[in-house]
Amino acid sequence: MDASTPTHPDPTGTGWYAPDWLDEAVALPQFEVIDARSAQSRLDLRPKTVTIADLVLFHGHACDGLLRGAYALRALADAAFPGRPFDRTDLLVVSKNSPCLGDLAAYLTGARARFGTHRLDDRLGVGFIVQVLSSGETWEVREEPGFFPPLIAAWDAAVLNPGLVVDGLLELADKAELVAVNEAAQWNWVRAELLPSRPADHYVVRVLNDAELPDALHDGRRTDIVNRDLPGPRGFLSPYEPGPGSTAPRPATVAADIADPWRERYLAGPPQRG
């Protein structure tokens, strides 16, 4: 096999990892997000679209948890930020410490455990708390109790419990079958119940006043957002406006296309005190 041979089972599409039947949804969530324009730069107000397929790529697989979480966060966004994107420079999120829900929370809100903005509370279940850092406004979304079938939830817990095999309640060969059966039941529920619904039908949003948030796991400084409120430059016209995808010609040196007085000033390095 040479390096150009695709190893992707479906090189022409994304059907195998982001199922085509997601098209059955009456209101499949997608999201708009905004971010800082580069590593130490101001906020870029141009939104980017994040689809379910993008979320699957980040998380690693499609699963019922990822979809339930996406419906929950869509319901929250519709209530908290109608017609506006998630500002990934200005949000704190609380989620259950689930692989699926935690990935979704971090990707869509820009919050990170290592910067103290992604916090954990397993009591949320399939739910989230989202706080706007600059204003303190806080919302919570929770899945309607009983919407996800207790039977599937019971099997989810059973196939995660090594004790059932150790204690002889479940043969290992049966467990292999049951994991596949349970996965089919999860997808059947997604198609029969979740996709025909709208996010607000089963995901309930409320404003939280005086929210008590879990402690941060770590509080590193997030440097890509510290200049988010800086105004744009008035004098210097960057060849990379409006963004890095511009048709700036290839420069010969780092300051080749920076006009004086900034060329000289930049090449002298940062100012030093005294």
Q: Which is nearer to Zn ion, 63 or 129 (CB)?
A: 63
Q: Which is nearer to Zn ion, 179 or 230 (CB)?
A: 179
Q: Where on the chain is the footprint of Zn ion (CB under 5 A)?
A: 63, 65, 100
Closest approach, Cβ 144 to Zn ion, in A, equals: 21
What are the contacts of 37-43 at 24+ separation with CB within 8 A?
A: 37/243, 38/224, 38/244, 39/223, 39/224, 40/223, 40/224, 40/226, 40/227, 41/224, 41/227, 41/230, 42/227, 42/228, 42/229, 42/230, 42/231, 42/232, 43/87, 43/89, 43/228, 43/229
Closest approach, Cβ 212 to Zn ion, in A, equals: 28
Closest approach, Cβ 157 to Zn ion, in A, equals: 15
DSSP codes joined into one string, 23-47: GG-SS---EEEEEESSTT-PEEEEE
Q: Which is nearer to Zn ion, 65 or 199 (CB)?
A: 65
Q: Which is nearer to Zn ion, 99 or 149 (CB)?
A: 99
Closest approach, Cβ 189 to Zn ion, in A, equals: 15
Closest approach, Cβ 59 to Zn ion, in A, equals: 6
Residue 140: beta bridge partners? 129, 206
Closest approach, Cβ 186 to Zn ion, in A, equals: 10
In whole angstroms, what is the distance from residue 138 CA to residue 12 CA? 42
Q: Which is nearer to Zn ion, 67 or 76 (CB)?
A: 67
- HSE at residue 77, side-chain half, CA atoms within 13 A, is 22
Q: Which is nearer to Zn ion, 89 or 98 (CB)?
A: 98
Q: At what angle do helices 172-189 and 64-80 cross, to 10 degrees?
A: 30
